[in-house]
Amino acid sequence: MSNVTASSQTQTVRTAPLRGGFWLVVLGAALWGVDPLFRILLLKSLTSSQIVLLEHVVLFLAAAPVLWRHRAELKRIRLRHAAALIFVSWGGSAVATILFTKALAGGDINAVVLLQKLQPLFAIGLAALVLKERLPRYFGPLVLLALLGTYLLTFGWSMPFGQAASFIGIGSVMALGAAALWGGSTVMGRYLLGTMKYETVTSLRFILALPFLFVLTSMEGAPWQLQGGLGSSAAIAINLLLQALLPGLLSMLLYYKGLSTTKASFATLAELSFPMTSLVLNWIVYQQLVTWQQILGFAMIWTALFFISSQQRERLEAASQPNS
């Protein structure tokens, strides 16, 4: 899920790969695992589109001042940049989050969470097509391994037929769609960073998604009517605020702070705290136990990602070496 781009960061990491930065990544990723808990609570009173819309209203309030400070960069935007921004904002920020939220409401929560670890595979594949980046060695077999793991996460050893499998499958397809769009947004965001700053791209991502979400939500029946369940609008507001602060803002601050001094391969290990937190919460709160088929499937996906991450580390270290 992460990219380490600075050679100076690689040099810093060599001396102490498991110091404070590693544990900051662990803590930041662990907070991501709390996100489904808030979303499922909010789904008792709001639709998926309503939840994502309200999230983006909060994000808009935070992003608007940032975009205003960087407004001069908007002059550099060309048609190709606008297309990338539409993909990032409408696809990655709006549709992907709605799909993820719907998947939590209509599928196996554990499978939905674990399938998000496929995001880097989508990002690497699209980066090869769009940014002409070189694919990792043995990328084909590693993708096949990850696909087998995905099947086990979704269906176990059973064939994908029947009512129960269909119910699980719909949620998993939505989760895969979210992972693909988020992975694609990583690539498009990387492309945009060649023209504008990270703060500008992030602000535009949230702001441009807002009108699109208004349209999607307005197309629902009685789009502004609460379904009831949380008790009051104040309770909904508190849940939205906690979701924005904990698995949103605080987690990303901790994650990127730790990532600045952590190797990509070690970060891959640290990010295992994300699914582990979700699995524990799902067990405690929703009594959903992970099956051994899901564990095996996740192990296949993680193994593929670990080998890819190790190759990325080797490339960074080779690039940081002075020319002889």
**The pair of three-digit structure tokens given for residue 227, joined into one six-digit string:** 């379904």
In a domain, 91, yes or no: yes
Residue 231 lies in domain:
15-316
Predicted pLDDT of residue 165: 53
pTM of this structure: 0.77
In a domain, 7, yes or no: no
Predicted pLDDT of residue 281: 86
Predicted pLDDT of residue 15: 39
Residues counted in the chain: 324
In a domain, 1, yes or no: no
Phi, psi of 106 (to 5 degrees): -130, 35
In a domain, 55, yes or no: yes
> How many domains are contained in the chain?
1
Cα–Cα distance list, 321 to 111, 135, 308, 316 (Å): 41, 21, 21, 9
In a domain, 122, yes or no: yes
Cα–Cα distance list, 117 to 19, 56, 199, 274 (Å): 24, 24, 25, 9
In a domain, 6, yes or no: no
In a domain, 323, yes or no: no
Report the alpha-carbon distance of residue 139 to residue 151 in Å, rounded: 18
In a domain, 321, yes or no: no
Which residues in the chain land under pLDDT 70?
A: 1-19, 107, 158-169, 221-232, 256, 259-260, 263-265, 268, 312-313, 316-324
| Secondary structure in 3-state letters for the chain | CCCCCCHHHHHHHHHCCCCHHHHHHHHHHHHHCCHHHHHHHHCCCCCHHHHHHHHHHHHHHHHHHHHHHCHHHHHHCCHHHHHHHHHHHHHHHHHHHHHHHHHHHCCCHHHHHHHHHHHHHHHHHHHHHHCCCCCCCCHHHHHHHHHHHHHHHHHCCCCCCCHHHHHHHHHHHHHHHHHHHHHHHHHHHHHHCCCCCHHHHHHHHHHHHHHHHHHHHHCCCCCCCCCCCCCCHHHHHHHHHHHHHHHHHHHHHHHHHHHCCCCHHHHHHHCCHHHHHHHHHHHHHHCCCCCHHHHHHHHHHHHHHHHHHHHHHHHHHHHHCCCC
Predicted pLDDT of residue 302: 86
Instruction: List the end-to-end C-alpha distance of the chain, in Å, as a whole number.
Output: 33
136 residue type, one letter: P
**The pair of three-digit structure tokens given for residue 101, joined into one six-digit string:** 């939220």
